[in-house]
């Protein structure tokens, strides 16, 4: 449905925060309504000459009319040429691995989102992908792994869940391209507010839209974004991959429903002010607990003492996002008790919402977890920073007392 035709086309040179706030200036063609209509059709009627009035046939094939706005806005925020919405971040991420030919070699981070590590172990490898995992902070190891045999794809996530290890994205893009591999980036944690991977050489961006993009803990969604064409030239390998991904979504059906699509677009409108405040609060908390007697280390790329700080400062702008982890002193159960003692931080998995969450990742991930046992992961929300600091102070203090 070409809603835009009824209004002046939205200027592509508006800055990302402007594009997010106004959702690229879309209107309901029927009424001028500023929020988009929610069209619930799973199928779409044809006229007496068998034409589809809006080019839509079936929800799994083309999605709902709301897709066009949310995909255009997310493509615009990343500076990409196209985007596709999925039913979850995992649906988007695994689509990339599923469209690769059998036997394809993929190089992935040793530390990244646990669900993807698990999918590659349970399905990717057993179904014929040659999966090689590397420590992404060791660029020599990344280069050696990519050069050891023809490689289809290098995957990165920075800062990476749950240790917030920073990856040098521009260097990885270079390594991948010299070897003829594509370079894909999970940009969920920094969001395009803080990192724009296409400017650093990425070919493909993936998002869990569940997290900061939606931002309100009420939608599970994902995105893939296609890189812009360099100098407008067609790039056959990248474009063939994108067409395969579109076909994959049509034929396997990991689509987002119309109601969730509406909520997702509403959340994205406030992405910029949310990220600015969340990142400022996370920085304040990281600095406060960096010198704390009950904390042995704070993992946060915004701290000058963090091993990833120099690279993060180069590839992130305006802040370092809202995720940090505290390593708690004492026996490892003290970190679990700290989470148990929180009163304002909510004990829950996930991240990127307006409410602050605390998670003992090792306990959540269960057998096979590589998360440090002494670590609690924090997702910072929009509460007053002083209340968050006070809550952690009392939780750490009680956990330390309980040990004696
Ligand atoms: C949550 C998350 C995913 C998975 O997304 P879902 O929407 O939960 O499927 C992937 N990568 C990162 C970094 C995440 O935080």
Contact by Cβ (8 Å): 215, 271: yes
Task: Identify the active-site residue in 113, 212, 262, 362.
Answer: 113
210 CA to centre of ligand 1 in angstroms: 7
Pocket of ligand 1 (CB under 6 A): 88-90, 93, 113, 115, 157, 161, 186, 188-189, 208, 210-211, 220, 222, 351
The pick from 90, 218, 223, 325 for probing ligand 1's pocket by mutation, whose C-beta has the most ligand atoms within 8 angstroms, reads 90
Which pLDDT value is given to residue 4?
Answer: 46
174 is catalytic: no
How many Å apart are CA 260 and CA 266, to the nearest integer? 10
Residue 393, judged by CB atoms within 10 A of its CB (0-12, 13-18, 19+), counts as middle
Q: Of 207, 218, 252, whose CA–CA distance to 88 is shortest?
A: 207
> Which run of H or E residues covers position 364?
helix 361-365
Q: Check whether the bond before 162 is cis (ω within 30° of 0).
A: yes
Q: Which residue has the tokens 């530390």?
A: 111
The pick from 211, 217, 353 for probing ligand 1's pocket by mutation, whose C-beta has the most ligand atoms within 8 angstroms, reads 211
Mention every residue, 6+ apart, whose C-beta is less than 8 A from residue 404.
none
60 is catalytic: yes
Fold adopted by 271-403: 3.90.1150
Task: Identify the active-site residue in 4, 27, 60, 110.
Answer: 60
113 CA to centre of ligand 1 in angstroms: 7
- Per-residue exposure over 208-233, b if at least 16 CB sit within 10 Å of its own CB, e if not: bbbbbbbbebebbbbbbbbbbeeeee
Q: Of 252, 250, 258, 256, whose CA–CA distance to 61 is shortest?
A: 250
Q: What is the pTM of this model?
A: 0.96
31 CA to centre of ligand 1 in angstroms: 36
* Spans of all domains in the chain: 3-268, 271-403
**What are the CA-CA distances from residue 237 to residues 217, 226, 336, 388 (Å)?**
36, 12, 47, 48
- Per-residue exposure over 19-32, b if at least 16 CB sit within 10 Å of its own CB, e if not: bbbebbbbbebeee
Contact by Cβ (8 Å): 76, 68: no
238 is catalytic: no
CATH C-level class of 3-268: alpha beta
50 is catalytic: no
How many Å apart are CA 47 and CA 200, to the nearest integer? 47
pLDDT per residue, tens digit, the chain (404 aa), is: 454 454 566 787 899 999 999 999 998 888 989 999 999 999 999 999 999 988 899 999 999 999 999 999 999 999 999 999 999 999 999 999 999 999 999 999 999 999 999 999 999 999 999 999 999 999 999 999 999 999 999 999 999 999 999 999 999 999 999 999 999 999 999 999 999 999 999 999 999 999 999 999 999 999 999 999 876 566 888 899 999 999 999 999 999 999 999 999 999 999 999 999 999 999 999 999 999 999 999 999 999 999 999 999 999 999 999 999 999 999 999 999 999 999 999 999 999 999 999 999 999 988 778 889 999 999 999 999 999 999 999 999 999 998 76
How many Å apart are CA 14 and CA 338, to the nearest integer? 45
In the β-sheet with 295-299, what is the strand arrangement from edge to edge?
295-299, 323-328, 375-379, 357-359, 346-347
397 CA to centre of ligand 1 in angstroms: 32
Which pLDDT value is given to residue 232?
Answer: 59
Residue with CA nearest ligand 1 atom 1? 208
Contact by Cβ (8 Å): 187, 78: yes
How many Å apart are CA 206 and CA 356, to the nearest integer? 24
How many Å apart are CA 156 and CA 121, to the nearest integer? 17
CA dihedral angle for residue 97, residue 102, residue 105, residue 108, rounded to 10 degrees? 20
The pick from 186, 189, 208, 323 for probing ligand 1's pocket by mutation, whose C-beta has the most ligand atoms within 8 angstroms, reads 208
Phi and psi angles of residue 106, each rounded to the nearest 5 degrees, phi first:
-125, 135
How many Å apart are CA 316 and CA 76, to the nearest integer? 18
Helices H, strands E: what count in the chain?
A: 15, 12
3-state secondary structure of 137: coil
Residue with CA nearest ligand 1 atom 6? 89
Contact by Cβ (8 Å): 38, 259: yes
């Amino acid at each position: 449905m070409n809603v835009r035709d009824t209004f002046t086309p939205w200027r592509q040179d508006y800055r990302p925060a402007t594009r997010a706030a106004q959702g690229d200036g879309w209107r309901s063609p029927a009424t001028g309504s500023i929020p988009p209509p929610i069209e619930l059709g799973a199928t779409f009627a044809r006229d007496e000459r068998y034409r589809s009035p809006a080019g839509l046939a079936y929800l799994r094939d083309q999605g709902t009319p709301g897709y066009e706005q949310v995909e255009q806005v997310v493509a615009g925020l990343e500076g990409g040429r196209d985007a596709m919405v999925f039913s979850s971040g995992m649906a988007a991420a695994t689509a990339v691995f599923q469209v690769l030919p059998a036997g394809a070699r993929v190089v992935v981070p040793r530390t990244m989102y646990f669900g993807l590590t698990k999918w590659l172990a349970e399905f990717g490898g057993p179904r014929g992908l040659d999966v090689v995992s590397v420590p992404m902070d060791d660029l020599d190891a990344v280069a050696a792994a990519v050069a050891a045999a023809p490689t289809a794809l290098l995957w990165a996530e920075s800062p990476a869940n749950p240790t917030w290890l920073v990856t040098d994205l521009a260097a990885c893009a270079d390594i991948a391209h010299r070897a003829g591999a594509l370079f894909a980036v999970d940009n969920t944690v920094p969001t395009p507010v803080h990192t724009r991977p296409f400017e650093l050489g990425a070919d493909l961006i993936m998002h869990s839209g569940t997290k900061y993009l939606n931002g309100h803990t009420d939608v599970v969604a994902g995105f893939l974004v296609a890189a812009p064409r360099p100098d407008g030239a067609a790039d056959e390998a990248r474009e063939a991959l994108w067409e395969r991904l579109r076909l994959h979504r049509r034929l396997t059906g990991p689509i987002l429903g119309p109601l969730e699509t509406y909520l997702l677009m509403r959340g994205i409108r406030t992405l910029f002010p949310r990220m600015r405040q969340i990142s400022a609060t996370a920085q304040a908390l990281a600095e406060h607990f960096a010198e704390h007697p009950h904390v042995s280390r704070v993992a946060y790329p915004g701290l000058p003492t963090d091993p990833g700080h120099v690279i993060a400062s180069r590839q992130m702008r305006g802040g370092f996002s809202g995720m940090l982890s505290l390593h708690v002193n004492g026996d490892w159960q003290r970190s679990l008790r700290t989470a148990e003692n929180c009163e304002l931080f909510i004990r829950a998995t996930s991240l990127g919402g307006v409410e602050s969450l605390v998670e003992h990742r090792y306990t959540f991930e269960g057998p096979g977890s590589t998360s440090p046992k002494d670590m609690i992961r924090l997702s910072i929300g929009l509460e007053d920073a002083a209340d968050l600091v006070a809550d952690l102070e009392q939780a750490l203090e009680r956990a330390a007392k309980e040990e004696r």
